[in-house]
Structure 1
Amino acid sequence: MTRFVVTGTDTGIGKTIFSAALARTTGAPYWKPIQSGLEEETDSEVVARLAGVPIRPEAYRLVTPASPHLAAEIDDVNIDIETLAPPPGDVIVEGAGGALVPVTRTILYADLFARWQVPVIVCARTSLGTINHSLLTIEALKARGVPIHGLAFLGDAVEDSEAIISDISGVRRLGRLPIIDPLNNETLAAAFKTNFDRSDFS
Structure 2
Amino acid sequence: MKNVLVLIKDGFADWEASYVTAELNKPGTGYQVKTIATDQSQKTSMGGLNVVPDYSLQDFRYELPFEMLIIPGGTEWKEERNQQIEKLIAFCFSNEIPVAAICDATTYLGKHGFLDHHKHTANSLPYLKEAAPNYQGEERYIDAQSVSDGSLITANGSGAVEFSRDILEKLKVLEGEDLRQWYDLFKVGFVKS
TM-score using structure 2 length: 0.44
Higher relative contact order (CA 8 A, sep 6+): 1
Q: What TM-score do the two structures reach when normalised by structure 1? A: 0.43
Structure with greater helix percent? 1
